[in-house]
A and B are shown apart, each in its own frame.
Chain A
C-alpha cells in the first residue's frame, strides 16, 4: 500500500510541476495576475507530494518491505536503522528521488522568501524550477521508479554496499545535492531575467544570497566526500580526479566564479551577459554531472548501475534545458547594456580575472574528463586521463587565482591605484616568503614546490590581515576604537575574509601533507613496534569481533611519544556477511597538526601482519579549510541587507 501511495504521489507531483512550469510563465508574459498567482501554491503542493513520496520510500526501508525492488537491492534485515534510512539514497532510483526532493525544497524556499520580488519575476523563476522538476520526475517515473515491485518477494535483501554503511556516507549525498540542485535557483533567476528583460544590478543583488547558500552546501558536500574517501578507503588518499568527483568540482568552480561575478554586476551593472551565462553554466554543469554519473559513459568507482535508456533520457533533458537556455541567451543577451564605467586596473577587473581563471580551470577539468570519450568516439583509440594529468594542469591554473585573491579584496572599486596597492601589500609579500621558508625549515626540509604553495597560502593570510588592519586602524594605531570598528565590518565582508582564509588553510593542508607525509610499511608480530616521526606504534595483537552485520579482525595498536601514551588505534579487516566483500577500516588518530593513520594489510606466515603506518601532517586542515569557506559563506548571507523586513525595498 505504502509504495503505491508513494508512486501515485510522484504522478501528482508531476502534474503540479507541469502546471507550474507553464501557466505562471504564460501569466508573466501576458500579464494575467491569476495565472501568476498560481505559482506559489503549486510550488507548495509539488513539494508536499514529493515529500510524501520520499516519506513512503523511507517507510518502506524502515519496515523492510522487500517487495519493493529498490529496497531489496539496497537493504537487509540486519542493517542498522540509520543505514536503512541512508539506503534510501544508496542507489540510482532513490538518489534521484533525493535530487527531486532537494529541488522542490529549494523551490519552496524561493516561493517563501521572494515576497520582495515583483510578481512576474517570481512567477517566471518558480515556473523554470517547475520545468526542471518535470524533467526529473518524468525521468524517474518512466525509467527509474523507486517503487517498482518485485515478485516473488525475497525473504532477505541484498544489503547496502558496505562502503556506504558509514556516517559520512549518510550525510554526504544530501549536502552535495543541496548544492548541485541549489544552483538551479541562480539558473532560474537568470532565465527569468532573460525572458523578462530585467537583467540588472538589482537582479544580481537578489541572486547572490541564493547562489552563496547553494555554494556553501556544495563545498560541504565535496569536503564530506573527500574526507569519507580518506578514512574509509584504507590507503589515505583524499582526491582521485575520478569522473564523478570532477562532476562535482566543475559546478563548484563555476559557482565560485558566479559569486564573484555577481559582485561586479551588482556594483557596476556591467558584465551582465557574462554573469547570466555563468549562472546558466553552473547549473548546466550540475546537469552534466548527473548525466556523467548515471549514463555509464565514463568508468568510475562511484558510478551508479545504469542502462543506455536512462543515459539517453538525461541527455535529451540536458539538450532541452541547456540548449534552450543558450538559445535564449543568444537571443536576449546582446540587448543588454554595458553598465557603468570602471578602470582597466580595478577591483572589478581583478574579480573578472578570477572569473577567467576559475572558468578555465573548470573547462580544463572537463577537457581531461571527457577527452578519452572524445578520442574513443572518433575511433582514435583509448587513453586514460588520471591524477598525473589533472595535478599537472590544475595547480598552475589555481596559483594565479590564489595570487589574485590576495590583491582583489584590497583593490579599490573603479580605479585601483597600483603603486599604492603594491605598497599596502608589501608586508604580506614579505611575510609570505619568510613564513614559507620558515615552515619548511621547521618541518625538517625546505622543498621548492611546497615552499611555493606555502607562499601562496601565507600571501592570502597576509592580505586578509592587511585588509582587516586597514579597517580596524584606518588612521594609525588606535586600540580604543578597534572593537567598535571591528563590529562595523559588514558581515558580507567578514564572510569574504573568512572564506579566503579557508582557502589558505586548505592550501596549507594540501601542501604540508603532500610534501611531508611519512609512510612505513612493516611486518608486525605481537609486541613489535615501529617508530615514525617520533611516534612509536606497538602492536598488541588481533581481536576477533562481531559487528551487527559483519565479522572483523581488529588490530590493537598502542601509540606513544616520548614515553607518553597518545592513542589506542584499532584498524580492522571486516567481512560483511551478506555481500561477502572484505573491507579495510583504517584507524585514525586525528589531530590539529597531524593525523596518525594505521591500516591492516595481509597476514603473513608466522602469524605476523603487514601494517601500514602513516603520519600525515596538517591533513585535517584540508577539510577544516573547506569548513571555514562554508562558514564564510554563511556569515556573508547573514548580512543585514538580506535581513530587512519583507516588503521593504531590498
Chain B
C-alpha cells in the first residue's frame, strides 16, 4: 500500500515538476495573423470619428471596433485596400482619411512643402550670390579675428 502511495506521490511530483515542458505555445490572438496585420495597417490610416484624434486601430470605441470589423470582412472577401478606402469615404467623406487624397483641393497641401524648400533655398542662393558680387566697401570692415576663432563657434 505504501508503495502505491509513494508511486502516486512521485508521479504527482513529476507531473508538477515537468509542467514547464507541458506549457503551451500561445496561439495568435486572431485566426489569420497576416490578415490582421493588414487590417491594422489600413486601420492606422482611418480616423475614429467619435474620438478626439485617434485612428480606428488605437481606439476602443464601439464605432472603431465596428469599422475594424468592416475592414476585416472586406479584406476577407478579397477586396483590396483602395476599395476599403473608397467604401469609407463614400460614407464618411474624406474626413475619415488621415492621408488626405491628392486632388485639386489638397494640391497646395501636398506640393506646398516642396515648393517652399525650392523657393527658400533658391532665394538664399540668389541673395548670397548677389552679396558675393558686391564690392568690398559695401560691407563692414573685417576685424582681425582669426579665421577659425574657437570661441565663436
Using a CB–CB cutoff of 8 Å, the interface residues on chain A facing chain B are 233, 235, 237, 240, 242-243, 263, 266-267, 269, 299-301, 303, 337-341, 343-344, 349, 352-353, 356-357, 359-360, 363-364, 367-368, 371, 375, 380-389, 393, 397, 412-414, 488-490, 492-493, 496, 520-525, 527-531, 538-539, 601, 610-611, 639, 641
B124 near A353 with CB under 8 A, answer: yes
* Residue interface mask B109-153, A partner, CB < 8 A = 1: 110110011001101100011011000101111100001111111
Tell me, yes or no, whether B14 is within 8 Å of chain A by CB. Answer: no
List chain B residues, Cβ under 8 A from A344.
128-129, 132
B45 close to A (CB within 8 Å): yes
Specify which chain A residues have a CB less than 8 angstroms from the CB of B110 in the assembled complex.
389, 393
Once the chains are docked, how many angstroms separate the CA of A389 from the CA of B136?
Answer: 47
In the docked arrangement, what's the CA distance between A344 and B121, Å? 13
Residue in A243, A300, A356 whose Cβ sees the most chain B Cβ within 10 Å: A356
| CB-nearest residue of chain B to A364 | B113
Q: How many angstroms between the C-alpha atoms of A538 and B97 in the bound complex?
A: 38
B28 at the interface (CB under 8 A from A): yes
- Docked pose: A538 CA to B19 CA in angstroms: 13
The residues of B that contact A530 with a CB separation of less than 8 Å are 25-26
Chain A residues with CB below 8 A from B150, complex form: 488-490, 493
Chain A contact residues: over half helix, strand or loop, or mixed?
mixed
Identity of the chain B residue whose Cβ is nearest the Cβ of A539 in the assembled complex: B26
In the bound complex, what is the Cα–Cα distance between A412 and B146 (angstroms)?
Answer: 11
B93 contacts across to A, CB distance below 8 A: 381-382
Chain B residues near A339: list those with CB within 8 A: 139-140
Known: A338-B131, A343-B132. 7 other contacts (CB 8 A): A237-B58, A356-B124, A360-B116, A383-B94, A383-B97, A528-B24, A529-B25
Chain A nearest Cβ from B148, distance in angstroms: 6
Least CB distance, A108 to chain B, in whole angstroms:
29
B-side contacts of A524, CB under 8 Å: 26
- Find B28's partner among A243, A267, A338, A521 (CB 8 Å cutoff): A521
On chain A, the residues within 8 Å of B47 by CB distance are 384, 386
> Is the CB of B29 closer than 8 A to any CB of chain A?
yes
Instruction: Report whether A363 and B139 are in contact in the complex, using a CB–CB cutoff of 8 Å.
Output: no
- How many Å lie between the Cα of A386 and that of B54 in the bound state? 10
Q: Does B4 contact A (CB under 8 A)?
A: no
Note all chain B residues with C-beta closer than 8 A to A397: 113, 117
Taken together as a complex, chains A and B put the C-alpha atoms of A332 and B106 apart, in Å, by 37
User: What chain B residues lie within 8 Å of A352 (beta carbons)?
Assistant: 124, 128
Q: Given the interface contacts A340-B139, A344-B128, A364-B116, does A388 sit within 8 Å of B45 by beta carbon?
A: yes
Partner of B148, one of A235, A359, A413, A641: A413
Instruction: State the CA gap A267–B121 with chains docked (Å).
Output: 22
Which residues of the partner chain B approach A266 to less than 8 Å between Cβ atoms?
A: 152
28 A-B residue contacts at CB 8 Å? A235-B58, A338-B138, A340-B139, A341-B131, A353-B124, A360-B113, A367-B109, A367-B112, A371-B106, A371-B109, A375-B105, A382-B94, A382-B95, A383-B95, A383-B105, A386-B99, A387-B44, A389-B98, A413-B152, A414-B147, A490-B151, A522-B29, A523-B27, A528-B25, A529-B26, A530-B26, A601-B29, A611-B29
Is the pair B105, A363 in contact by a Cβ cutoff of 8 Å?
A: no
Query: What residues of chain A lie closer than 8 Å to B123, measured between beta carbons?
Result: 356
Residues in A whose Cβ lies below 8 Å from that of B139: 338-341
Interface centre among B96, B99, B147, B152 (most CB of A within 10 A): B152
Cβ contact within 8 Å between A389 and B25: no
Q: Which of B54, B97, B136, B153 lies in contact with A263, CB distance below 8 A? A: B153
Asked whether A528 lies within 8 Å of B23 as measured between CB atoms, the reply is: yes
Q: In this assembly, does B30 line the interface, its C-beta being within 8 Å of a C-beta of chain A?
A: yes
Interfacial chain A residues near B94, Cβ < 8 Å: 381-384
| B33 part of interface (Cβ distance < 8 Å) | yes
State whether A303 and B52 are in contact (beta carbons under 8 Å apart), knowing that A397-B113, A522-B29, A539-B26 are contacts in the complex: yes
Q: How far is the CA of A269 from the CA of B93 in the complex (A)?
A: 53
A58 to chain B, nearest CB (A): 29
Decide if B36 is an interface residue (CB 8 Å cutoff): yes
Closest A-chain residue to B58, C-beta based?
A235
**Chain A residues whose C-beta falls within 8 Å of the C-beta of B54 in the assembled complex:** 301
- Which chain A residues border B149 with CB–CB below 8 Å? 413
Q: Which of B23-82 contact A (CB under 8 A)?
A: 23-30, 33, 36, 44-45, 47, 51-55, 58
Q: Which B residues are in CB contact (< 8 Å) with A527?
A: 19, 22-24
Q: How far is the CA of A393 from the CA of B141 in the complex (A)?
A: 42
Closest residue on chain A to residue B123 by CB atoms: A356
Q: Closest Cβ of chain B: how far from A102's Cβ, in Å?
A: 26
| Whole-angstrom CA separation of A360 from B52 in the bound complex | 28
Q: Nearest Cβ distance between residue A390 and chain B, in whole angstroms?
A: 10
Q: Which B residues lie within 8 Å of A360 (CB)?
A: 113, 116-117, 120
With both chains docked as a complex, state the minimum distance between the C-beta of B42 and any C-beta of chain A, in angstroms.
11
A383, B106: Cβ atoms under 8 Å?
yes
Contact B26 A299 (CB under 8 A): no
Contacts of A299 in B (CB 8 A): 52-53
Q: Which residues of A contact B152 (CB under 8 A)?
A: 263, 266-267, 413
Q: Is the CB of B148 within 8 A of A412?
A: yes
**How far in angstroms is the closest Cβ of chain A from B50?**
11
Q: A299 to B52: give the CA distance in the assembly, Å.
A: 6
Inter-chain contact B153/A492, CB cutoff 8 Å: yes
